[in-house]
Amino acid sequence: MNNSIKVLFATAELNPIAKVGGLADVAGALPPILHELGVDIRVVMPKYGIIDENKYPCKKIHSDIDVTIDNNTEKIDIYETKIPDTEVIVYLIDNHKYLGQNGVYFDKTAFVDSIGEVHRFLFFSKAILPIFSSLNWYPDVLHCQDWHVGILPALLNLEETKQPELEKIKTLFTVHNLANQGSWEKSEILDFLGLSDDNIPSLAVNPKDINLIQQGIMNADLINTVSRTYAKEILTPEYGEGLEGDLAKRKDVLFGIVNGIDQKRFNPSTDPDIAANFSLQNIDQKMVNKKDIQKICGLKVDEKIPLLGIITRLTNQKGIELVADSAETIVKAGGQLILLGTGADNYEKMMTELQAKYPENVHAHIAFDAVLAQKIYAGSDVFLMPSRFEPCGLGQLIAMRYGTLPIVRATGGLKDTVPDYNPDDHTGTGFVFDEYTSASFVKSVKRALDVYKNDPDNWNKLVKSALEYDSSWDTAAKEYLELYKKLIK
Ligand code: GLC
């Protein structure tokens, strides 16, 4: 790999070592494919206390590197592991005070709610630049994910004046979710970093706060987000989360690359967590999974009953209200609904109330449970994803991979990845609706249930098309490689 492009992929999460949401799936799956394409890509992440070192053995490779923070000198150690079953090196930065305690994020919604979390990721960002000289490895591209490392391009620009070896490093900033911005009071951030407004011009854009995702957007050499449609949507006030102006200024360097999924991990023909493996050749085995999940959830076991599933973080993004409003329609049609997720209290309550109202037809499981999730993907007929906005979305891709037809709103990555059912030629792999209203969503639920009940042949045709859908990382990885090449040209 002597002449290959060197990339350091900086992330707060990585599946399976420390997983919260979709970011972890991307971090665990994209670097290995880029590595196969010949990129010398390595990952850097915090060494959280929750990492299970029996499962993921980590070796200490450097100790006592100084990081100046909050008017003090903190020490970090660097550990090394690999993304399981791959050759991709992961560097874990260890510092008990800032990185070692608690889980990945401090709140179960994964949205910032305390200065402790802001400190954690500012510290992580600051700790990345001093590691290169210890490693004797300088990346060509620093690929930064989300607000957690949004300050990194700016810190790099500043540090280049002191460490000339850093001058050649270019930055790519990937926005996985513009809604989660990492914003905090300016004076607290500046004091912690030991900086003032004058050090970095972009820090002066807001009078009161520093918005870390905005910093990434303003300072990175190139920016991308995780679908083509979302890359356009975020230029509008409806989806721009207040940053549409900053994004518009950088429109020429803003790209959209649609995520894939790890097709080895999400594979109905080998998945160890589901009751019966299946593929195009033995689709009938999908029914074994359906009956299994019906039984687990205490619902009537009957393969003819349409079974709708939803697996999600319970946040304002995900359209939980629409799902609640559709329950009556589903119940009236004799269908069943299984919900799995955790998050905001009001939505957890909404889900529990649905189950209380329709105990025969609705099962709400308030938890994060990766094994149960696989069983729901495999056993459901329909997967619901009526998001208000969706940068890419992984649930719809996993669902299709398991022959479960998604009902999605035409936004972001949902729009880019789910071809709508066309009743004329019976093509498509799911059902798509436009407006974010209960009426519009319920209409699409009825449309799906109608095909399910009255046109089983064409339903099966859709299931086959979903199973055949290519959601691999191959295309996306090539597009990332093109961006890396553009950066170092
Ligand atoms: C965030 C987005 C989701 C995307 C994921 C990975 O979780 O909300 O749409 O799929 O990041 O990029």
Please state the three-class secondary structure of the chain as a single string: CCCCCEEEEECCCECCCECCCHHHHHHHHHHHHHHHCCCEEEEEEECCCCCCCCCCCCEEEEEEEEEEECCEEEEEEEEEEECCCCCCEEEEEECHHHHHCCCCCCCCCCCCCCHHHHHHHHHHHHHHCCHHHHHCCCCCEEEEECHHHCCHHHHHHHHHCCCHHHCCCEEEEEECCCCCCCEEEHHHHHHHHCCCCCCCHHHHCCCCEEEHHHHHHHHCCEEEECCHHHHHHCCCCCCCCCCHHHHHHCHHHEEECCCCCCCCCCCCCCCCCCCCCCCHHHHHHHHHHHHHHHHHCCCCCCCCCCEEEEECCECHHHCHHHHHHHHHHHHHCCCEEEEECCECHHHHHHHHHHHHHCCCCEEEECCCCHHHHHHHHHHCCEEEECCCCCCCCCHHHHHHHCCCEEEEECCHHHHHHCCECECCCCECCEEEECCCCHHHHHHHHHHHHHHHHHCHHHHHHHHHHHHHCCCCCHHHHHHHHHHHHHHHC
Rounded average pLDDT over 184-200: 93
pLDDT at 124 over 80: yes
Q: How far apart are the CA of 393 and the centre of ligand 1, in A?
A: 5
What is the CA(176)–ligand 1 centre distance, in A? Answer: 5
pLDDT tier at 111 (50, 70, 90 boundaries)?
confident
Q: What is the pLDDT of residues 50-88, one digit of tens each?
A: 999 999 999 999 999 999 999 999 999 999 999 999 999
Q: What is the pLDDT of residue 455?
A: 97
Tens digits of per-residue pLDDT, 277-330? 999 999 999 999 999 999 999 999 999 999 999 999 999 999 999 999 999 999
Q: What pTM value is reported for the model?
A: 0.95
230 alpha carbon – ligand 1 mean position (Å): 11
142 C-alpha to center of ligand 1: Å? 20
Distance 451 CA to ligand 1 centre (A): 30
Residue ID of nearest Cα to ligand 1 atom 12: 176
Instruction: Classify domain 6-260+474-488 at the CATH class level.
Output: alpha beta
Question: How confident is the model over 430-435, as a mean pLDDT?
Answer: 98
Percent pLDDT > 90 in the chain is: 94
Q: Is the pLDDT of residue 381 over 80?
A: yes
Give distance in angstroms: CA of 177 to centre of ligand 1. 6
Banded model confidence at residue 199, pLDDT cuts 50, 70, 90: confident
Q: Where are the domains positioned within the chain?
A: 6-260+474-488, 280-468
What is the 234 CA–ligand 1 centroid distance (Å)? 14
For residue 198, is pLDDT > 90? Answer: no
Ligand 1 pocket test, pick from 11, 14, 19, 23 with the greatest ligand atom count within 8 Å of Cβ, gives 23
pLDDT of 49:
96
Pocket around ligand 1 at a 6 A CB cut-off: 21-23, 26, 176-177, 226, 259, 390-394, 413
pLDDT at residue 109 is higher than 80: no
Predicted confidence (pLDDT) at residue 2 exceeds the cutoff of 60? no
**357 CA to centre of ligand 1 in angstroms:** 32
Atom of ligand 1 nearest to the CA of 259: 12
Of 25, 144, 148, 226, best ligand 1 pocket probe by most atoms within 8 Å of the beta carbon? 226
6-260+474-488 and 280-468, same CATH topology: yes
CATH hierarchy code of domain 280-468:
3.40.50.2000
Q: Which residue's CA is the closest to the ligand 1 atom numbered 10?
A: 393
Mean pLDDT of the chain: 96
Among 105, 230, 317, 394, the mutation site with the greatest number of ligand 1 atoms within 8 A of its Cβ is 394
Pocket test for ligand 1, best of 19, 392, 416, 479 (most atoms within 8 A of CB): 392
Q: Whose CA is nearest to atom 5 of ligand 1?
A: 22
Q: How many angstroms does the Cα of residue 161 sit away from the middle of ligand 1?
A: 35
